[in-house]
Structure 1
């Protein structure tokens, strides 16, 4: 009997260790996310060995048989809900010049420029259903990331020193996706680009100005832009991109994961544009921007000019004195507030 109990405990632990850590908000539980595939194989192997010993010793014991069946179900669950197959990352991108594409101008994209190169990645068709694109632009490693739980599409320089990093989806932590780098198996928070567990803990990826807009607007600004026309997955996903997009659109508005921040101030799923500048974090709610197009705001004595394009649902910001373009992030309120607990909320008074 003892062997069947140990087998069940091992199966339950590897199947639900990550989920228990998330809902109980246990930092030490991040251990389960790191190199999960290897841990799953080890736990599964020992679980099956103990189950086999239990069945061999007590062939006619119904309780042993029942525990063994439940263990097999748990182990199957662990393999079925595998993030690497639910969200297979993009590992190769074929790019086409803007003038050579027939992409619909209303296609939503995240665009960025590196050096003299501008490139746009399609959101609905690729970024959202697969969550991660690993790319390289002008010898710079790039990470395009998306978190469905907080509706944030962000771009980072995927480098630490001279080390180029390759990312995969690891799971969820603090209402936000966490990613794992293939090189060190370190865990990274998508909302901040910070390494939260592993070799690079405390290291910050450089956030890039990924503009969430449409292909028509982006191409108008960057006529020589490239478009990520073909994106190739590292492995076959359990669901196609189209089915995954539908599933995410259905599920994510109904799910709120545990976090550490109080979400008062705005509705949890209010779309906000977030800016962190000169020691101040501010959220600009979409509901407050609908009646204004251009205005000035103050960040600890520095004036910032902001322009909101209602048609494209895009906010641009520049520091007035030096004409410095500021990075504007787009999130649901629950995602922005979780990592900017002291954020101010801009009101159109």
Structure 2
């Protein structure tokens, strides 16, 4: 074998050693253009062959070093040695610096405190979960860094997740095919976190719980109900709730998300004069009723706090509390009668039909409807780009009647 052929083997080894890992990292992290590609299947199978390809590349390089390296000129020796150093450096970026489970580590053991010993500020947003009379609150700032907390609430295992690129909080059952799973963070596709279960190695979208690729493709994780609220509002309803405390190992990482839970990106953009503009990271409240989705513009809804809406023959009440952060969605039909709500002088809900008073848990506390309970509808606060991507048939409300998605495309 001549020198040129031997050199080709060396360079092929370098390509196999570096390129698959770099491509994999590029596709699974939010680099420019990477998240817009429909490449999750490529990512899935690429991950499985990255290390085998690296091994083959390493064998090619080792063979060359043993057989031909000594015959190189001094200049070529330096070039090839420098290339190998760069190869090793690429591993830092692909396997550490830009590997999701390394960048965003899950807390080893989440610690909780009650309201008396809690150190979390009361104005922080939390994801609240209740089961068997036990309430727990997971601050978004902490959850946003970790991406997931695998916990137990009221003797029921839960997978509490959050993706800051989509502003999506979701709570799932960690059981797949009846077996409790440990999940790992894989990376992101379409700006949404991808998690993998331990048994089947299926990849699941965090925003929908849908299996995107793998053995269980097309299946969904069981979604569990939750609320997003300020800690103050949550404790008013659940005073004995336990609150997840910060892990001191990740103080600097939490600091990177300062004000994430309370300040919109549009408010930080000094170049955008019209703060009511609809942009990629505009906040929306999303609901799915009878398989049909609708999004509500957060800024417009926050100005009026209360919206009585009709969504495909379903009467809905969408409401934001006076703290401007805590939101709710209910079906506002009681015994076949649709009630229409407004805010009372005391900041509670009152229906126009009977002037009864309702608290922020959807329960009537005085008046003709006393004791009645509105049915909760699971609602999500999300970035507009995420809701639109995962719910392409959504209708959209922007301070007026809801419209089909194509009618708001010009605004986006």
Task: Report the TM range for the smaller structure's normalisation.
Answer: 0.7 to 0.9
- Of 51-60 and 131-140, deviating more is 51-60
Alignment correspondent of 2:41? 28
> What does residue 340 of structure 1 align with?
391
Q: Which residue of 1 aligns with 2:353?
A: none
1:139 offset after TM fit, Å? 3.2
Q: Larger Rg: 1 or 2?
A: 2
Counterpart of 1:104?
Answer: 121
Residues 33 and 221 of structure 1: is their aligned pair in 2 closer, same or farther, counting only changes over 3 Å?
farther
Which piece of structure 1 moves more, 275-284 or 43-52?
43-52
Match of 2:287 in 1: 275
Alignment partner of 1:2 is 2:8: yes
Distance 1:96 1:293, change over 3 A: same
* Other structure's SS at 1:267 match: coil
Comparing 100-109 with 293-302, which one deviates more in the overlay?
Answer: 100-109
Describe the shift of the 1:98–1:183 C-alpha distance in structure 2 as closer, same or farther (beyond 3 A).
farther
Give the aligned partner of residue 153 of structure 1: 169
1:44 equivalent to 2:61? Answer no
**What displacement does 1:153 show?**
2.0
C-alpha change, 1:109 and 1:116, in structure 2 (3 Å) is same
Matches within 5 A, 1:255-334: 266-321=278-333, 323-334=374-385
> Which residue of structure 1 lines up, in the alignment, with residue 148 of structure 2?
132
Structure 1 residues 87 and 219 mapped into 2: Cα distance closer, same or farther (>3 Å)?
A: same
Q: What is the CA–CA distance in structure 2 between the aligned matches of 1:341 and 1:50, rounded to whole Å?
A: 47
Shift of 1:299: 1.7
Deviations 1:250-281 (A, max 9, x none): xx969xxxxxxxxxx93111001100112321
Q: How many residues align?
A: 328
Deviation at 1:102, TM superposition (A): 4.7
Partner Cα separation in structure 2 for residue 137 and residue 9 of structure 1: 48
- For 1:63-83, what per-residue CA distance to the aligned partner results, in whole angstroms no more than 9, with x for missing partners? 644543443333332223222
CA distance in 2, matches of 1:183, 1:68: 36
Higher relative contact order (CA 8 A, sep 6+): 1
Q: 2:88 aligns with which of 72, 85, 91?
A: 72
Cα distance in 2 for partners of 1:293, 1:270 equals 17
1:88 maps onto 2:110 in alignment:
no
* Aligned residue runs from structure 1 range 233-248, under 5 A: 240-242=252-254, 244-245=256-257
Looking at structure 2, the residues matched to 33 and 110 of structure 1 have their Cα atoms a distance apart, in angstroms, of: 34
The alignment yields a C-alpha RMSD, in angstroms, of 2.8
Query: Structure 2: where are the runs of 5+ without partners?
Result: 1-6, 29-33, 267-276, 335-373, 401-412
**Separation in 1, partners of 2:24, 2:375:** 45
8 Å CA contact retained: 2:167, 2:383: yes
1:192 aligns with 2:208: yes
What is the TM-score when the length of structure 2 is the normalising length? Answer: 0.72
Deviation at 1:244, TM superposition (A): 5.0
Q: Could you tell me whether the CA contact under 8 Å between 2:209 and 2:222 is conserved in 1?
A: yes
CA–CA distance in 2 between the matches of 1:32 and 1:268? Answer: 30
Is 2:113 aligned against 1:123? no
Q: TM-score, normalised by structure 1?
A: 0.84
Q: Is the 2:302–2:324 contact (alpha carbons within 8 Å) kept by the matching residues of 1?
A: no
- Deviation by residue 1:8-43 (Cα, 9 ceiling, x = unmatched): 2212112223424745422431325756xxx55444
Distance 1:296 1:77 in 2: 50
Structure 1 pair 245–33 and aligned structure 2 pair: CA distance change class (3 A): farther
1:110/1:211 contact within 8 Å kept: yes
Alignment partner, residue 259 of structure 1: none
- Structure 2: distance between partners of 1:154 and 1:306: 19
Tell me the alpha carbon deviations over residues 320-340 of structure 1, each in whole angstroms, 9 at most, x when there is no partner.
Answer: 236320111111101111100
Shift of 1:107: 2.5
Asked whether the equivalents of residues 184 and 199 of structure 1 are also in contact (C-alpha less than 8 Å), the reply is yes
